[in-house]
A = this chain, B = another copy of it.
Amino acid sequence: MPRLADHEERRRSITGATRRVIARGGLDAATFQSVAAEAGVSVRSVQYYFGSKREFLLATHRAVVEDSGTRLHRALAELGPAAGPRDIVRAVLVGLLPLDEPSRQNAIILGIFHAATLTGPHLEAADTASTPNYIVEAVAAQLRRLRGPDADEAVIRADAEVTLLAVAGLAQGMLTDTGMASRATELVDHLLHRVLPGVGQCSALQGGGEEPPGRPPGLSVP
């Protein structure tokens, strides 16, 4: 296969190995040696593809964020183009929860990276954004659809942010609290009920919750 594809393939297999090592033993378990062993490559080649520990940690974090984005795309694609704003927001929120083993591993790694940025030395706050802005924007876009052109943009933004903060808290809480995990989608539906009162239900912020005709879900990963 062509050189570049080969190169990308190698990098992916190394970040994949790093993810497994970190999910098992935490950030300190990830060394050139342990990652090389897990990936079945030489320490020299890990050093070739990633010059420093910081570099392969950042690449691993990026890989996890991209993987989560891909999962969201898949979930939205399954909804189809006629999906309403509420269905789309729900798919985004549920898609952010660690409900299967791969997404659970991603959530564990994001939790570990978050903690690592709090004390360093390998990572700083700027390295690991909280919820990527494109996700806040994807939720806000659906709230605009739902509330129409006259809706207050500041309110839409705040609704998207608090909703995603709750889901971020839930995603991490589920990892250690099985009771919470078992009620996760129920809690997401309650959150939706609060932030997007259904049609007919009254809200100070939207014109009765009427939906404009369906538009295809928009979620573009940067």
A-side residues, CB < 8 A to B, are 22-26, 28-29, 108, 111-112, 114-119, 125, 128-131, 155, 158-159, 161-170, 172-173, 175-177, 180, 186-187, 190-191, 194-195, 197, 201-204
Contacts of A111 in B (CB 8 A): 114-115, 118
Establish whether residues A26 and B115, one from each chain, have CB atoms under 8 Å apart when the complex forms.
yes
Establish whether residues A162 and B116, one from each chain, have CB atoms under 8 Å apart when the complex forms.
no
Number of copies: 2
Contacts of A164 in B (CB 8 A): 169
Establish whether residues B194 and A195, one from each chain, have CB atoms under 8 Å apart when the complex forms.
yes
Establish whether residues A165 and B187, one from each chain, have CB atoms under 8 Å apart when the complex forms.
yes
Instruction: Give, as a whole number of angstroms, the nearest-CB distance from A1 to chain B.
Output: 35
In the complex, 23 of the A-B residue pairs with CB atoms within 8 angstroms, ordered by the A residue number, are A25-B119, A26-B118, A29-B119, A112-B118, A125-B175, A130-B169, A130-B176, A158-B190, A159-B190, A159-B194, A161-B180, A161-B190, A162-B187, A162-B190, A163-B166, A164-B169, A165-B167, A165-B170, A166-B166, A167-B169, A169-B169, A201-B204, A202-B204
Cα of A125 to Cα of B115 in the assembled complex, Å: 16
Cα of A176 to Cα of B127 in the assembled complex, Å: 9
Cα of A190 to Cα of B119 in the assembled complex, Å: 31
Given contacts A129-B177, A194-B159, A202-B204, contact A116 B165 (CB under 8 A): no
Contacts of A165 in B (CB 8 A): 165-167, 169-170, 173, 187
Contacts of A118 in B (CB 8 A): 26, 108, 111-112, 175-176
